Amino acid sequence: MPPSPTASERTRQLRRVALSGLLGTAVEFYDFLVYGTVAALVFGELFFPGADPAVGTIAAFGTFAAGYVARPIGGIVFGHFGDRLGRKNMLLLTMGLMGGASFLIGLLPTYDTVGVWAPVLLITLRVVQGIAIGGEWGGATLMVVEHAGEKRRGLWSSFTQMGAPLGSLISAAVVAMVSTLPKDQFAAWGWRVPFLLSVLLLGVGLFVRLKVVESPLFAEVKKDRAESRLPILDVLKRPRPVLLACCVGIGAFTAQSLLTSYLIAYATGIGYPRPQVLTALTVSAAVALVVLPCASALSDRIGRRPVVLTGAILSAATAFPVLALVDSKSSGALILAVVIGHGISQSLMYGPLGALFSEMFGTRVRYTGASLGYQGATLVGAGFSPMIAGSLVASSGNGTPVALLLCGGSLITALTVWFVRETSRTSLGEDPTPDLPTTPHTEEITA
């Protein structure tokens, strides 16, 4: 038997795993969000020409939704092998798939070149992206949580959560840079640059990820030969935690989708220049990088539920004021709106989710369970929101449906949190599922 690692070695490995989670998730979200940004700007005319501009935008976001539909599939596939064979190898595979699909999108011919094959290939690669990111988040998050053990799991898991705004920040900055090109040059070749640059981020992410070791909790399960034969069946035998996780995450992902990807199409449609919108998203992502670790660390002290609930209530209460700020057509008001709705409210909901979802499942099925909960929430909250919002705005002629969707998603999260057991004191070595309450409770959560 190899000697047990010392405390300093465990701390060093935990930092390396946290960095791996941060970089890996940043790469994944960079690739995923670059698509949403570019789809809002040019994919309608490049891959769905001849349609009404609103219809073209809806079609472009339809391919955006296709990636979200594929994410639960990725959660099931990679969750199965992650719970059976190990976390590390699955994370290397998801990162490679994501980066490869994004690079190939940057090389795609448009409709004018190959006709209907252009949108077919685009949707195919988008589905590959969705499958890859469906397996990435669950594995990256629980690797950090399982290495962290019983202390400060929320804070350490926030590194993986910060990958989303970091990827958004990088993607917005890169797209903002190339969007300064003349419109014809951006449509001809400029939109390809962000996708092709993803190969550089992929190389850095893989280099760091190769140096991490397997989760110690899963290593114990493997040593005892206690792996689940079919993790998905074990999870679905007791589906309540997955359903609760899906509903808890809906508010965060509705806000993320409407106030990032869809906002670009909406704001440019009412007269904002593209650079102003991308600047607002960049500022919001920078604020989120501060709020996320603070919210996650706070959840270690007072519990996951109070922090998520605060974010959900704040998001619902500010939905209509946020839209009014956007509709004012003031660049300063636009930045304030995105910071309030995404940088602060969404981050409060999103920050504790990594630790919360990981703590809701036992080690034998944690990869599958956490991935299904998370990806189910993204499918409902983020996958269809831009398409629904685009359709409703096009028919109504105003942005009220955007605020209604944002408010509705946040209220779903707020109501569901009431039914979730506080997990911040749960031991990861236990299977928490049998102990879940069957009715909402109101006990006081104390630090």
Please give the mean pLDDT across all residues of the chain: 84
Q: Write out pLDDT tens, residues 131-164.
A: 888 888 888 888 898 888 777 899 999 998 898 8
Torsion of CA 228, 416, 22, 34, to 10 degrees: 110
| DSSP 8-state secondary structure symbol assigned to residue 443 | P
Q: Write out pLDDT tens, residues 328-366.
A: 999 999 999 999 999 999 999 999 999 999 999 988 899
Does the pLDDT of residue 444 top 50, yes or no?
no
∠ Cα 273 65 324 (to 5°): 40
Q: What is the predicted pLDDT for the residue at 386?
A: 80
Q: What is the predicted pLDDT for the residue at 359?
A: 92
Q: Residue 351 phi/psi, 5° resolution?
A: -50, -50
DSSP, residue by residue, 373-398? HHHHHHIIIIISHHHHHHHHHHHHSS
Average pLDDT over residues 269-277: 87
Q: What is the predicted pLDDT for the residue at 278?
A: 83
Q: Write out pLDDT tens, residues 292-324.
A: 999 999 999 999 999 999 999 999 999 999 999
Does the pLDDT of residue 445 top 60, yes or no?
no
Q: What is the Cα 326 distance to its own chain's centre?
A: 24
Superfamily grouping for domain 8-214: MFS general substrate transporter like domains (1.20.1250.20)
Residues contacting 327, CB < 8 A, separation 6+: 270, 399
Does the domain at residues 230-426 carry the CATH identifier 1.20.1250.20?
yes
How far is residue 32's CA from residue 25's CA, in Å, rounded to a whole number? 10
How far is residue 421's CA from residue 430's CA, in Å, rounded to a whole number? 15
182 C-beta neighbours (distance < 10 Å), count: 9
Q: What is the predicted pLDDT for the residue at 183?
A: 83
Does the pLDDT of residue 427 top 50, yes or no?
yes
- Residue 396 pLDDT class (50, 70, 90 cuts): confident
How far is residue 343's CA from residue 111's CA, in Å, rounded to a whole number? 36
Q: Write out pLDDT tens, residues 209-258.
A: 888 888 888 888 888 777 788 899 999 898 999 999 999 999 999 998 89
Q: What is the predicted pLDDT for the residue at 27?
A: 82
Domain ranges in the chain with CATH number 1.20.1250.20:
8-214, 230-426
* Contact in structure between 386 and 64 (CB atoms under 8 Å): yes
Identify which has the larger pLDDT, 357 or 382: 357
- Choose the weakest-confidence range: 62-71, 163-172, 222-231, 417-426: 62-71
DSSP, residue by residue, 29-78? HHHHHHHHHHIIIIIHHHHSTTS-HHHHHHHHHHHHHHHHHHHHHHHHHH
Determine the residue type at 5.
P
Q: What is the predicted pLDDT for the residue at 430?
A: 58
- Residue 55 pLDDT class (50, 70, 90 cuts): low
What global pTM score does this model have? Answer: 0.81
- Choose the weakest-confidence range: 168-182, 188-202, 286-300: 168-182
